[in-house]
Amino acid sequence: MKHLIDPTDLTKSEIDEIISLAQDIIAHRERYQGSMSHKKLATLFYEPSTRTRLSFTSAMMELGGNVLGFSDARSSSVSKGESVQDTVRVVGCFADVIAMRHHIEGAQLYATEVSTVPIINAGDGSHSHPTQTLTDLLTIQRELGHIDGITIGFCGDLRFGRTVHSLIKALSRYKDIKVILIAPDELKLPDYIKQDVCERTGIPYREVTTMEEVMGELDVLYMTRVQKERFLDEDEFDRVKDSFVLDDARMALAKEKMAVLHPLPRVNEILTEVDADPRAAYFRQVENGKFVREALIVKLLEWKDDPEHGMPTDETPVEDPELRCPNKKCICNNEHAPHRFRRTENGVLRCWYCDSKVR
């Protein structure tokens, strides 16, 4: 069965199919009204969300389907101690597809082990957010007319920014991508993304500490907020929260044709004066999220019983009773998930669920 837990669960061909369908939905919305009639989407949101949850809800409603679920785990049996897998087993009796957001990393992957319906990862901690990635790819395609050959700058919180991690993984499938990482030392991109994605796939990248030195090179500037909820140390958050702010003066240094993206919500990293700039694409990006989620729902249900569209099977988990995942926010340290690992091409062992380095 096909699930979407990580961008790499989709082949390049499958990503292209989803983006192409999303563009057709945009051009012919009436054609798809009622296409999900009598189908049900369950939205299981264990942490707060506005855009993603409403985007999924709106997407399913526009397709003529129904939506059930919860936006606060405290209002569900989770508050009584029900496990992720048990919740998914139960909800799978009522729904055709599940969209789940969870603060515990790897929760959705763990849930797929027992699910009878497709699961969509709507964000797991600071790990991955693949539907935002599809949104970003559709937005780049619509704003620039192409994805191959772009130079993209990621700015702000690259350490905890799951949208950044997911998009870099997806862009590794495209040709001639150049990545520029704009962040303070405390918020640099994790080594596992640089090593296992950029270096392994040959994406050239460089790290800088100011926006000004690279603005003129960028086709896409991907802004992120510094996420207070990801920090264990509030003093560390206070030190870096105002690291980078995009304003009209910095936009004046950019190309005439470029796009500013942001997964939202923003706090103060993009001043409102930038909103009127035609290169500010972040609100158009929100609407693109609805269209791409419509396409994803249609495709996952179409692929559900198609053996040609299964999950990747090129890795076998490593199990060693002596090893433990060091990530306190990983599913294997919060529920009875087994401690499983995968070995990278350079011999590093990483957690099967959250990608944390074990040794």
DSSP 22-59: HHHHHH-HHHHTTTTTT-EEEEEESS--SHHHHHHHHH
Same domain? For 196 and 221 the reply is yes
Q: Is the pLDDT of residue 232 over 60?
A: no
Per the model's pLDDT, the better-predicted residue between 346 and 216 turns out to be 216
Distances (CA, A) of 129 to 52, 137, 246: 10, 13, 24
Question: What's phi and psi for 294, nearest 5 deg?
Answer: -60, -50
Q: Is residue 212 part of a domain?
A: yes
287-297 pLDDT, tens per residue? 999 999 999 99
CATH number for the domain that contains residue 276? 3.40.50.1370
Same domain? For 162 and 251 the reply is yes
Q: Is residue 251 part of a domain?
A: yes
Same domain? For 166 and 70 the reply is no
Q: Is residue 358 part of a domain?
A: no
Q: Is residue 359 part of a domain?
A: no
152-164 pLDDT, tens per residue? 999 998 988 888 9
C-alpha gyration radius of the chain: 20
Q: Is the pLDDT of residue 59 over 80?
A: yes
Same domain? For 90 and 137 the reply is no
Same domain? For 298 and 336 the reply is no
Same domain? For 105 and 152 the reply is no
| Residue 229: partners with Cβ closer than 8 Å, 6 or more residues away | none
Q: Is residue 315 part of a domain?
A: no
Q: Is residue 318 part of a domain?
A: no
Q: Is residue 316 part of a domain?
A: no
Q: Is residue 314 part of a domain?
A: no
Least confident of 23-37, 143-157, 301-315: 301-315
Same domain? For 187 and 233 the reply is yes
- Supply the range of the domain harboring residue 232: 130-282
Q: Is the pLDDT of residue 282 over 90?
A: yes
Same domain? For 32 and 171 the reply is no
Which helix (H) or strand (E) segment is 141 a member of? helix 130-144
Same domain? For 252 and 339 the reply is no
Q: Is the pLDDT of residue 33 over 80?
A: yes
Same domain? For 251 and 292 the reply is no
Same domain? For 125 and 138 the reply is no
Same domain? For 254 and 330 the reply is no
The DSSP symbol for 194 reads I
Per-residue confidence band for 233, with pLDDT thresholds at 50, 70 and 90: low
Provide the 3-class DSSP secondary structure of residue 110. helix
Tally the domains of the chain: 3
